[in-house]
Each structure stands twice: as C-alpha cells, then as structure tokens.
Structure 1
C-alpha cells in the first residue's frame, strides 16, 4: 500500500511518509508495552502488600502519558503529511492530465476522471491522515501484547501467538475475495458519474424532445447497478468479518480455558491469569476493527491503482533537444491519422505559405477539424509529418508550439470568472491597456457596456451567462491578446445570429491580419476571405485553388456552394 502510494506520488514524498509510518509504529508498540505494566500492578494490588502498587501505578501513568504524547505527534504528523500529499496529488494529476493527448479524453473518460479527481483523490490521500494510524495500531498493539503475554507465560503466549497467522490469513483472503467486487463497484461508480453528468448536460435536448423519462430510466438503471455492485462487495467481505470475529473469540476462549487449567493446577497464579485475560481482551477491539479499516484501505488501494494507471498513461513525448522554428509556414507531408479503425487522413499532403489564409471545406467527417488538431499537436500522426516553419511539430516543445498558435473553436469554453480573467488567459502578463484593446478589436466592449458588472461581470461556469456570440467574442479577444503568428479557426460563425456574426467577422478579420491562417469554414462570406481553398473528403484533398478558380471548375466545391445558396 505504502509502496503504491509513493509510486503514485513520486519519490520526493517518501521521507515524510516513512517518518510518519515509523512514528505511528513506535506509538502502537509503546501502547502495547504500557499494558505490560498492568501485570506487576495487579500482582501488587492483589498481593499481600497492596501499597507496592503505587509505584507501578505511577509507572503505568507515565507510560500512558508518553503514549498520549506520541499519539498526538503521530496523528498531527499524519494530518500534515496527508494534506501535503493531497495538494501534491492534485498538482501531479492536473499537470499529467494537461499533458495527455486530447484523443485520450474519450466519452467514457468523463465519469472516470470526475470520480478520480474528486472523491477518488480524497479517498486515496486520506490513508495517511485517517486510516494508517488505526491500521498500524490494530496490527502492532495486539502483536506487542501477545509478546508481552509470551514473556510472562510461554504457554499462554504461545496460545495467543497461534492467532496471529490466522488473522493475517483471513485479512489476505478477504482482500482477494473482495477484489473483483471492489473493481466492479469502481467501474459502476464511474459509469454512474458519467450518466449523471450526461443527464445534466443533455437537459435542453431531452426536454425539447420530451425524452426526460427515458433518460432518467437510463440513469436510474446505472445507479441500480451501482447499488447491486456495492451489495455484492459487502457480501463478499462478510465471510472475512465472521471469520475474524470467530478467531478473536476463539483465541480469548482458549486463553480462558488454558489459564483456568494452569491456575487450577497451581502452575500459574490466579492474578497472572486474570491480568493476561485483561490484556487479551484489550487485543479484541483493535483486531475486530481490522475488518472496517481493511475495507477502507482496499477501497483506497483500488483508487490508487486507478490513479497509477492514469499517471502511467504516456503523454505525447517531448523532444530532448527542442528546435525553435524561424518561420511560420505550415506543411502536411503524406500525413496519415486514424481514429479507431477509421483513417481520417490518408496520405494527405498540403502546404500553407507564411501569411497565407487557407480555408478548408468539405463534408462532415472529412477530417477538417483533425487538420487543426494535428497542427496544434493535440494528437500525433500515425505516419508522415506535420511541420511548422519546416520543423516537425514533434521536435518543437509543447510550450513553444502553443505560444505560436491562437485557436478559436466553434464551441467556446469560458472559465467561471470575470470577462477580463477569461481574456487574460491568452497572455496573463498583459497590461490593462492591451486587454482592453483586444476586447475593443473583438467588438466585446459593447457587450461589456451592457452587462451589469461590466469588466467584473461573472460569465458563469462554461460561460453560461453569456450568449454564444458573446462567448465567441471573448474567445477572439483572447486570441488577439495572445498575438500569435499562426491562427486556427474552426467554424467560428456557423451557429451565430446575423448581428453577432457580423461582429465576430470583424474581430476575425483583425485577428487574421498578417498571420498564417487555417480556417475550417462553410459560410461563403468566410471562405471568400481566404487566399486559397482546399476541398477535403475521404482523407485527402479533392480540389485545391482560389475561390474563383474552384467555382469556375464546377466540381465538388462549386456544388457545395450551390447547395448553400439553395
């Protein structure tokens, strides 16, 4: 468990974790040794000179005080280390997720990442703060008491020692028998989380189609499967609970019978037997708590295993010696890219001169957006190369590549904050004048003027408090502020009303000025602003030329425009 925890977190966290574990173990052993003083204390108390018990009582009180101090320090250390690990885990997971290829984020990953990044991380990191100390105490304290009994009477101690491997075997067997059920429960939990997110996001569509009842049934089925999986997990752990309880009770019964037999035979004093039975009874509670603690630890271990799987997922490789391109022309060289079993691009070759505006047109699924994503290296090609300034994007550092590219997508996501904060994502160190100039150039100033809070108005999660056109203007202002030499546009006006479309086009015109531009577009107004147009279909370029040349050609592009006009 600790090894997996350190593997997930990284070696830099090993020293404080090991110190905390050592302190918790010492505390548990001191607790067990303090109970050893009960033997001479009770012997003196029930002996011929009860006054001698005062010295042992003071010694016992001192031992309990030492234990209390150690327990306080170990618990405090556990909380501090747990908080540090939690913060470190969030940072490491966030940094790693940001480096994973966009293709990794398939639909079924939403529930998994949501469950891991929320309650999953808290559950895994709570091991140090809340579970490790009770677990070590439940193991080390009874074991110490067994050795204390062994020291005072080898026969009773040997009888108690027999229970140690039995308890260990029950814990191992319980862990193995519940592993499959725990894994199923985790999978059902991820699926249920994904269904909840899907249900919430799909409310407008479901209500418009009158399908809320059907969708609720799907969610309900998912939650019911989660309930069944949790029930199976509980039932699979039940034999271990019963076995552990029976073992503890059997151990106490054996010690009681054996102690009575030895006392009646005069081989051991009655006081010693009573004291040893008190010590044995003290073992019962921590041993029985192993069932609950063990279940929580197995759950945390399951989360750690899933975190480990995510963190072991290879991000796109960074070049060992990154190259900085001097130019900003673009090139696709015999590019092949597949999504699942389908080849989206099949040997595509295309070049875009620096400062040129290229429009990419074609039917849905032709690979238009894939071109933009490969340029931004959201994915790596399966064959061929994508180059910026003659340099393969795989030889350019991600930071350097992204600093040269401004992207405006059709679906704009804004973070829950102010408009200014969302614009500053383009260049966080920009001064106020630059931010306001970008907003004015994107025609965002007129939106800000009519908002109640102006610049400090909150846009809501995902920009929900703004219209689609207003979100698009924020996105363009962000790109303008970034001032990157390469601009990628993905159908940014396809779903806008005429007023917003006119404003967005004006902002886009300013954004494209003097830059290398690749735009995925269908609107005639947008395509005609391009220096060159390519028609994409079946993973390759079908037609290539200027707007006027392709119209005169009367081919696929001309037919595409005729459909739009019709």
Structure 2
C-alpha cells in the first residue's frame, strides 16, 4: 500500500507521506507507553503508596502531552495529504492520460477510470482522514502494550505475543475476503453501468425491434449480477468480520485465564492482576477498532490500487525533441508487422509508399488490416516489427505534438462535442479566422447546414452531434480536416454510410484536400476509389496488389473481382410485389 500511496501522491509529496507515517507510528507508540504506565500507578494506589503513584502519574501526564502533540501532528498531516489528493489527483491523471497510447482507451478502461476518478478519489482521501490512522494505531498500540507486558510479567507478555499470529491471520483473511468481494461488486457495477449507458444510447435500435428494458437480456443480466454481488458482499463479509472480532475477544479471555491461573498458583497477587488486566484491556481494544476499520481500509485500498495502476501505465515513448522531417507530406510502411495486445496478428510484412500530394486508397475485406494502418500512423499502437514513417521519419522519433501536427483524421463514426457548430469546427484550429472557418465550411457543405439551423453557427449540436444527421456530422468532420490544413489527411470509411447528396460534398472536399495534402483513404465506395493515384489491396494483413484503377482492372486479379462485385451490386433492384393483407 505504501508503494501505491507514493505513486498516487507523486515524488513531490513522498517526503510528506513518510513524515505523516512517522508521526502516526510515534503517536501510537506513545499511546501504548502511556497506557503501560497505568500498571505501576494502580500498583502504587492499591498499595497505599501515594508518593510513588504521584511520581508515575507525572510521567503519565508527560506522555499524554507528547501523545496529544503527536496525534495532532499526524491528524493535520493526514488531512493535508487528503487535501493534496483532492486538489491534485485529477490534474495528475489528466497529465498522465494525455501521454498514454490511444489504444489504451477502450470502453472498459474508460468506465473504470470514470468510477475511480469520482468515487475512488473520495475513498482514497478517506485513507488519510479516517481509515489508516485507526488501523495503524490498532496494530502499533497493542504491539507496544504486548512488549510492556513482558516487562511486568513475561508470562502474560508471552500469551499476548502468541495470540498475535491468530489475530493477524484472522484479520488478514477477513480483509482479503472483503477486498475480493468488493472487487466483484465493482466489476458488476461497472458492467451494469455500461449496459445502462448502452440501453440509453441506442434506444432507437432497441425500440425499433420492441426491446424494452424487460426484453433486453444484457441489461437484465447485468442488473441481476449487480444485485447478486451486493447481496453476496453482506453474506460473505459479515461472518468474516464477526470472526475477526471473536479472535480479539478470545485473546483477551486467554489473557484473563492465564492471569487467574497465576493468582491461583500464588505467582502474582490479585492487586497486580487487576493492574495487568487493565493493561491487557488496552491490548484488545485497539485491535477491535482496527478490525472494524480493516474492511473499509481494504475497500479503499482497492480504489487506491486502481488509481495507482492507471498512473503506473507506461506512457507513450517519445523523444524529447522530434527529428526534422526529411520528406514532408509522405507516408511509408517498411516491413511492418503488428500483433494486437490480445494476440491477433493483423499485419504481416507490409510495405508501401505514399508520395507527397497524392491520393492512395486502401481496399480489402473486413479484417484485412485497413483500419490498423491508420491506427499505427496515429500511434494508437506501435508496430511489432518494421517502421511506420511520416514525413520520412519513424513515428517513434516524433513527439506526439509533432506527429499530430502532420495528421488529420476523418472517421466514419464522427463524434461532435456538446457545443456550438462553429466551436466543433474550430476544434482542429482554434486560432483560425472567421474567413478560414467559413471557407472550410463552404468546401465541406456545412454552410448549407448553417442556413437551416435556428441559431446558425451558434446552434448547439448536442452530445455526440445528436442534433445533426449522420451525413451532416460527416461534413462537419471534413470541415475540421480542411480547417486544420494538415499535410496528411486520413479518411477511414468516411463515405461508407452517406447518401449521394452528402457523398458529393465529401468528394468535393477530398479533391480540395488533394491540392494541398497527401490523402490516404480507406473506402469501399467506387467513385472514391477510382480517382486515387494508387490503390493498395490488402488481404489478411498482406499487400497483394497495387496500382491505379485501370491497371488493377487490366490484371483481372482480386481488385477486379471486387470491382465487378460492386458493379453488379450497384445494379440490383427490388421488385415490388403486392401481397394480400
């Protein structure tokens, strides 16, 4: 846990963490020593030795004063560290996330990140404010008391020390069970949250097929799993917490039994036993409190490990200074192979060149590796073998800022921010002039959309661009690419789901981009493919054909077969038949 706390707080606050822990341990040791002085005080009082009792009482007063000072210091330093977590953690997470590979951000990790950054942060602050102090004191105070018992009576001290392993293993078993159960509850809650978002986001599809909540099995199963996980947490943790408390009480009962046996055998007197039992009570009291807090500590520890795990994710390796570009606007793959983290090999010894200010189209069946090409160019991942070059330089030798300055991406699934139409276009170039924005909008056909909107440029487009149609969102995405004026533009299935009206604007924008940028297109639509300067045909991650449209048709190979299949599909017609009702 200490290692995770160091990771969470960062190097700047490591010394503060150790000072807090030092004051915490010192406070607990002083508290245990102060409790130990009760034995000589009670002995003196029960023996009517008031002078000796007052001397020991003065020592107790001094220890209590030191204990108060130490407790105040650890409490203040603990609250200060909790404040550090609240005020700096989200900023540190943000700075770290922008340096992670884009391939890290799958839906599951993003959802866990959301939960960890909200409820998890509050649990971690509770470590310093509420959980860590009582648990550490609950261990250190009894340890100090057990050692002082050796000073007064080695037999009771030995009994306390022999009880320690039983208490330790019982509480460790209990805390581990609570932690694992909490992890299952967390996983079930994450899945249920994902299903709820999915259910809300895709209502159009679900309602079209009559799938209400009662008929949507994934959501029902996720809710049922969450309900079962919550019920199992109570069923599994309560007996284990009870066992932890029982072990503490058994230890005290054993101490009482040993003490009584010593009195019966005349080895200590009853007066001394009373004093020693008072000290023994302080052996089990903090342990009971630690047992009560250990479950919460383990749950907070789970959140701590998740947050620390995010901060330990290796950032995208990039140089301090980018290498200068040797061939601006060009792209190349040199003997590139790529295996996804899950183990699937997607690209195999892929090599090709995309000259500057040209248009290259990549075609192939689903799963042939087309989209992976763009992901490697954008450094979602790094190539397993070979090199991916932009501007003549390996992308691993460019800083993230330098690489992104060269590229602009237009995808089939366009995401627009819940902001105005103009703000969404300006996202690619916030410093662009109004004339530049208007020019990019005109080329992408967005000006036609602006006229129809109630507030024009200032119309909010809704989350994800919900206020616009799919084709309109695609036009906004193209306007972004035009406004950025990046040397290289990547279009990943940008025309796959467009009607002829919207596709015409996309074709116009592509022709405009070709005048100033290198364009790499992944597409199936025939008009887009035909105008490319070169066409690359992929199959199972390998380049099997390359050439212009005319050259590939003349070879009568895989591309020609693809082309003829598309031509026949384009001529299909549905024959209307009237059926009786």
Task: State whether residues 214 and 220 of structure 2, in contact with CA within 8 Å, keep that contact through their aligned partners in structure 1.
Answer: no
Q: Is the alpha carbon distance of 1:7 and 1:44 closer, same or farther for their aligned partners in structure 2, counting shifts above 3 Å?
A: same
Match of 1:143, SS state, is helix
- 1:143-162 alignment runs, 5 A limit: 143-151=143-151, 154-162=154-162
Structure 1 residue 277 displacement after superposition:
3.7
CA distance in 1, matches of 2:435, 2:40: 82
- 1:506-545 alignment runs, 5 A limit: 506-541=508-543, 544-545=546-547
- 1:90-239 alignment runs, 5 A limit: 90-105=90-105, 109=109, 112-120=112-120, 122-124=122-124, 126-151=126-151, 154-175=154-175, 184-185=184-185, 187-212=187-212, 216-229=216-229, 237=237
Give the structure 2 partner of residue 281 of structure 1.
281
Structure 1 residue 516 displacement after superposition:
0.6
The answer to whether the aligner puts 1:556 opposite 2:558 as a matched pair is no
Task: State whether residues 337 and 345 of structure 1, in contact with CA within 8 Å, keep that contact through their aligned partners in structure 2.
Answer: yes
Please identify, of 90-99 and 281-290, the stretch whose mean Cα deviation from structure 2 is larger. Answer: 90-99
Task: State whether residues 245 and 291 of structure 2, in contact with CA within 8 Å, keep that contact through their aligned partners in structure 1.
Answer: no
Q: Is the alpha carbon distance of 1:464 and 1:259 closer, same or farther for their aligned partners in structure 2, counting shifts above 3 Å?
A: same
CA distance in 2, matches of 1:100, 1:233: 34
Q: Is the alpha carbon distance of 1:242 and 1:373 closer, same or farther for their aligned partners in structure 2, counting shifts above 3 Å?
A: closer
CA distance in 2, matches of 1:452, 1:78: 54
Per-residue CA distance 1:120-147 (angstroms, 9 max, x = gap): 4554564334321121121122333444
Per-residue CA distance 1:474-522 (angstroms, 9 max, x = gap): 4333323332111111222333455544555555544443111112233
Match of 2:516, SS state, is coil
Match of 1:513, SS state, is helix
Task: State whether residues 357 and 531 of structure 1, in contact with CA within 8 Å, keep that contact through their aligned partners in structure 2.
Answer: yes
Per-residue CA distance 1:156-213 (angstroms, 9 max, x = gap): 4454444333322323344566676565555545544444444444433222222345
CA distance in 1, matches of 2:60, 2:343: 72
Task: State whether residues 550 and 558 of structure 1, in contact with CA within 8 Å, keep that contact through their aligned partners in structure 2.
Answer: no
Give the structure 1 partner of residue 299 of structure 2.
299
The answer to whether the aligner puts 1:472 opposite 2:477 as a matched pair is no
Give the structure 1 partner of residue 371 of structure 2.
369
Structure 1 residue 286 displacement after superposition:
2.7
- 1:314-393 alignment runs, 5 A limit: 314=314, 316-318=316-318, 322-326=322-326, 327-338=328-339, 343-393=345-395
Task: State whether residues 178 and 299 of structure 2, in contact with CA within 8 Å, keep that contact through their aligned partners in structure 1.
Answer: no
Give the structure 1 partner of residue 251 of structure 2.
251
CA distance in 2, matches of 1:100, 1:287: 43
How many residues align? The count is 566
CA distance in 2, matches of 1:261, 1:444: 93
Q: Is the alpha carbon distance of 1:441 and 1:231 closer, same or farther for their aligned partners in structure 2, counting shifts above 3 Å?
A: same
Match of 1:336, SS state, is strand
Task: State whether residues 330 and 387 of structure 1, in contact with CA within 8 Å, keep that contact through their aligned partners in structure 2.
Answer: yes
Please identify, of 120-129 and 12-21, the stretch whose mean Cα deviation from structure 2 is larger. Answer: 120-129
Q: Is the alpha carbon distance of 1:13 and 1:424 closer, same or farther for their aligned partners in structure 2, counting shifts above 3 Å?
A: farther
Supply the RMSD in Å over aligned alpha carbons. Answer: 4.2
Structure 1 residue 234 displacement after superposition:
5.5
Structure 2 residues without counterparts, runs of 5 or longer: 572-581
Task: State whether residues 123 and 303 of structure 2, in contact with CA within 8 Å, keep that contact through their aligned partners in structure 1.
Answer: yes
What TM-score does the superposition give when structure 1 sets the normalisation length? 0.82
Give the structure 1 partner of residue 29 of structure 2.
29
Per-residue CA distance 1:24-74 (angstroms, 9 max, x = gap): 222223333444565566678777698998998898677656545543442
- 1:394-413 alignment runs, 5 A limit: 394-413=396-415
Match of 1:426, SS state, is coil
- 1:488-507 alignment runs, 5 A limit: 488-497=490-499, 500-507=502-509
CA distance in 2, matches of 1:417, 1:332: 38
Match of 2:380, SS state, is coil
CA distance in 2, matches of 1:277, 1:429: 77
What TM-score does the superposition give when structure 2 sets the normalisation length? 0.80
CA distance in 2, matches of 1:37, 1:432: 80
CA distance in 2, matches of 1:60, 1:443: 84
Q: Is the alpha carbon distance of 1:393 and 1:30 closer, same or farther for their aligned partners in structure 2, counting shifts above 3 Å?
A: same
Q: Is the alpha carbon distance of 1:515 and 1:275 closer, same or farther for their aligned partners in structure 2, counting shifts above 3 Å?
A: same
Please identify, of 105-114 and 284-293, the stretch whose mean Cα deviation from structure 2 is larger. Answer: 105-114
CA distance in 1, matches of 2:41, 2:119: 48
Q: Is the alpha carbon distance of 1:411 and 1:46 closer, same or farther for their aligned partners in structure 2, counting shifts above 3 Å?
A: same
CA distance in 2, matches of 1:538, 1:159: 71
Per-residue CA distance 1:404-440 (angstroms, 9 max, x = gap): 1011111112334444554444245556665566556
Task: State whether residues 199 and 215 of structure 1, in contact with CA within 8 Å, keep that contact through their aligned partners in structure 2.
Answer: no
Structure 1 residue 548 displacement after superposition:
5.4
Give the structure 1 partner of residue 77 of structure 2.
77
Task: State whether residues 167 and 247 of structure 1, in contact with CA within 8 Å, keep that contact through their aligned partners in structure 2.
Answer: yes
CA distance in 2, matches of 1:416, 1:276: 69
Match of 1:218, SS state, is helix
Match of 2:137, SS state, is helix
Please identify, of 1-10 and 254-263, the stretch whose mean Cα deviation from structure 2 is larger. Answer: 254-263
Task: State whether residues 420 and 455 of structure 1, in contact with CA within 8 Å, keep that contact through their aligned partners in structure 2.
Answer: yes
Structure 1 residue 13 displacement after superposition:
3.7
Q: Is the alpha carbon distance of 1:3 and 1:546 closer, same or farther for their aligned partners in structure 2, counting shifts above 3 Å?
A: closer
CA distance in 1, matches of 2:543, 2:528: 20
Per-residue CA distance 1:75-118 (angstroms, 9 max, x = gap): 33223213424565545554555444444555655555555455
CA distance in 2, matches of 1:216, 1:560: 37
Match of 1:290, SS state, is helix
Q: Is the alpha carbon distance of 1:383 and 1:132 closer, same or farther for their aligned partners in structure 2, counting shifts above 3 Å?
A: same
